[in-house]
């Protein structure tokens, strides 16, 4: 299931990330250890390595976040698979080296992030494949229905999976849903006010419940008309007049299962390990 379209087709998706993502990672670590690390006290500072094992089929996404967790803990990460690459279980995806205490300190934060991001990328790529096989050649986009504080990771997963991230926040684009329309009085009034405030550089999208609303949105100057809960035939009929055209790629998705295994003393670093232990399945 290789990703053959979208942002990955043109460059490295990681190059899109703002420097602020590193502060976000710091906040994750602080949240997980707000006070004493009692477990870390017990295991000590002996240097060792751990193997990141992919335990369910999927696409790897979220490598920059995973790396940054361990960079901040003075550990090193060597990847044996590229971001956006699919794998079958059980796959030795990466090797992490550092003190036992710091490996375990970053384990859960790194795994949770990688699992969630990889799950979204996997679902995104899977849906794109189904759409293309069905002859649909238009854009598959995400939504703003992301977990608070985790939007950057989830949008990143969509991009790695080849999808369009859609708007990233309320400032990226003006989007009107039913509550906006009811409050403004009409679609025309809402679009007119948005254009006055946002100017020509901010696009306007209107969620429409009927063909009549879609036509009104188009005539009002909305650049994007969202046909909400239309049937397939309804979309075709609307498209004939509009010439325009799901949050499911990041809501209700299964995580890709990974585990991070400390290599037992005396065991060869190249020996495969597929035992039980800490994993990310929820």
What dihedral do alpha carbons 107, 111, 114, 117 form, nearest 10°? -140
3-state class (DSSP) for residue 40 = helix
Write down all domains in the chain, each with its CATH number in brackets.
1-169+246-282 (3.90.1170.20), 173-245 (3.20.20.70)
59-99 per-position pLDDT tens digit:
999 999 999 999 999 999 999 999 999 999 999 999 999 99
SS3 176: strand
Is 261 considered catalytic here?
no
- Given the structure tokens 């009107």, which residue do they identify? 176
Mean of all residue pLDDT scores within the chain: 90
d(CA 232, CA 17): 36
Q: What is the pLDDT along the chain (282 residues), one digit of tens a residue?
A: 567 799 999 999 999 999 999 999 999 999 999 999 999 999 999 999 999 999 999 999 999 999 999 999 999 999 999 999 999 999 999 999 999 999 999 999 999 999 999 999 999 999 999 999 999 888 999 988 899 999 999 999 999 999 999 999 999 999 999 999 999 999 999 999 999 999 999 999 999 999 999 999 999 999 999 999 888 888 888 888 876 464 566 777 888 899 998 898 887 655 555 444 444 432
Catalytic option among 145, 189, 241, 254: 145
- First and final C-alpha spacing in the chain: 24
Q: Show the tokens assigned to 197.
A: 């405030």
Rounded-to-integer distance, Cα 119 and Cα 232, Å: 27
Strands of the chain, DSSP E: 47-54, 58-59, 76-79, 86-87, 91-99, 174-176, 204-208, 224-227, 258-262
């Amino acid at each position: 299931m290789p990703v053959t379209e979208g942002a990955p087709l043109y460059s490295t998706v990681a190059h899109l990330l703002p420097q602020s993502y590193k502060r976000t990672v710091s906040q994750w670590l602080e949240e997980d250890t707000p006070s004493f690390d009692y477990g870390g006290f017990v295991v000590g500072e002996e240097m060792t390595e751990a193997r990141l094992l992919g335990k369910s089929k999927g696409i790897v996404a979220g490598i920059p976040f995973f790396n940054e967790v361990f960079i901040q803990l003075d550990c090193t990460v060597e990847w044996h698979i590229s971001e956006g690459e699919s794998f079958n279980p059980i796959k030795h995806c990466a090797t992490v080296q550092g003190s036992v205490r710091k490996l375990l300190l970053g384990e859960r934060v790194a795994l949770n992030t990688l699992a969630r991001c990889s799950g979204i990328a996997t679902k995104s790529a899977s849906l794109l494949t189904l759409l293309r096989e069905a002859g649909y050649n238009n854009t598959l986009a995400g939504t703003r229905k992301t977990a608070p504080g985790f939007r950057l990771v989830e949008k990143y997963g969509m991009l790695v999976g080849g999808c369009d991230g859609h708007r990233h926040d309320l400032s990226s684009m003006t989007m009107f849903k039913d509550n906006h329309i009811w409050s403004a009085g009409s679609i025309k009034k809402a679009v007119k006010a948005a254009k006055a405030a946002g100017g020509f550089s901010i696009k306007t999208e209107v969620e429409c419940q009927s063909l009549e609303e879609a036509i009104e949105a188009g005539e009002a100057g909305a650049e994007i008309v969202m046909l909400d809960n239309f049937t397939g035939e309804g979309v075709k009929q609307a498209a004939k007049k509009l010439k325009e055209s799901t949050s499911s790629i990041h809501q209700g998705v299964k995580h890709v299962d990974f585990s991070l295994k400390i290599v037992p003393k005396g065991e060869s670093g190249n020996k495969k390990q597929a035992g039980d232990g800490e994993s990310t399945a929820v």
